């Protein structure tokens, strides 16, 4: 695991090669304001446009196991987020056990698109608490000394932060969620 460069210093934005860039998109403003208000150290990273978590990890040079993907699910009719490493697949059976929901399924794009008006579809950050929904995180992400990287509202921007800060701010239900 690589350390967050300049942790504790003011945040900076870089491209995948580590060069500064100007942030044009406003999709991260809500998330950044939340993180800044809680004095959380984080870095943003721009990368070539990618639409899957594994492709994003590759293009951004992030370990696939630190790159988190947000999977939108329905739990007894309500929307929730399942957050897993890019290289894992969600087990709906395990999610059913953990959540206690009777009906569990993947949410369709039409069901959640309007909940994230500032985000590109499929690039929602795993901060369900900012959108009034529960978050279930795979225990394989939960490394107290580790980092988590995730889409930050676009298919070109990532946010990288300490797992412990993510857990403290989001309060996810942490459990085994992956198919083995």
Can you give the CATH number for the domain in which 29 is found? 3.90.960.10
Average pLDDT over residues 86-106: 96
* pLDDT for position 97: 96
CA distance 103 to 92: 10
Structural domain includes residue 49: yes
DSSP label at 1? -
How many residues comprise the chain? 180
Structural domain includes residue 2: no
2, 77, 137, 162 from 7: Cα distances, Å? 12, 40, 24, 9
The encoded tokens of residue 38 equal: 């809680």
pLDDT band at 25 (very low <50, low <70, confident <90, very high): very low
Structural domain includes residue 22: yes
Domain that holds residue 92: 13-175
Structural domain includes residue 150: yes
Structural domain includes residue 55: yes
The structural domain count of the chain equals 1
* pLDDT for position 9: 38
Structural domain includes residue 3: no
Task: Give pTM, 2 decimals.
Answer: 0.80
Asked whether residue 18 carries a pLDDT value surpassing 60, the answer given is no
CB neighbours (10 Å) of residue 141?
Answer: 25
C-beta of residue 56 within 8 angstroms of C-beta of residue 110: no
Asked whether residue 148 carries a pLDDT value surpassing 60, the answer given is yes
Structural domain includes residue 86: yes
Residue-wise DSSP of 85-128: ETT--B-HHHHHHHH--S-EEEPPHHHHGGG-TTS-TT---S-G
* pLDDT for position 156: 83
Structural domain includes residue 101: yes
Q: What percent of the chain has pLDDT over 90?
A: 48
Q: Quick one: residue 50, left, alpha or beta (phi over 0 = left, psi -120 to 50 = alpha)?
A: beta
CA distance 165 to 178: 23
Average pLDDT over residues 4-17: 40
Asked whether residue 7 carries a pLDDT value surpassing 60, the answer given is no
pLDDT band at 15 (very low <50, low <70, confident <90, very high): very low
Which helix (H) or strand (E) is 58 found in, with range? helix 53-60
């Amino acid at each position: 695991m690589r350390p967050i460069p300049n942790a504790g210093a003011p945040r900076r934005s870089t491209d995948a090669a580590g060069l500064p860039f100007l942030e044009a998109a406003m999709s991260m403003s809500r998330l950044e304001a939340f993180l800044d208000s809680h004095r959380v150290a984080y870095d943003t990273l721009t990368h070539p446009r990618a639409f899957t978590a594994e492709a994003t990890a590759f293009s951004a040079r992030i370990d696939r196991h630190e790159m988190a993907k947000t999977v939108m699910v329905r739990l007894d009719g309500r929307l929730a987020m399942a957050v897993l490493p890019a290289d894992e697949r969600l087990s709906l059976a395990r999610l059913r056990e953990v959540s206690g929901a009777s009906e569990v399924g993947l949410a369709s794009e039409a069901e959640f698109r309007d909940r994230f008006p500032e985000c590109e579809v499929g690039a929602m950050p795993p901060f369900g608490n900012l959108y009034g929904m529960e978050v279930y995180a795979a225990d394989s992400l939960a490394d107290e000394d580790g980092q988590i990287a995730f889409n930050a509202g676009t298919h070109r921007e990532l946010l990288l932060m300490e797992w412990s800060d993510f857990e403290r701010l989001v309060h996810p239900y942490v459990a085994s969620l992956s198919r083995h």
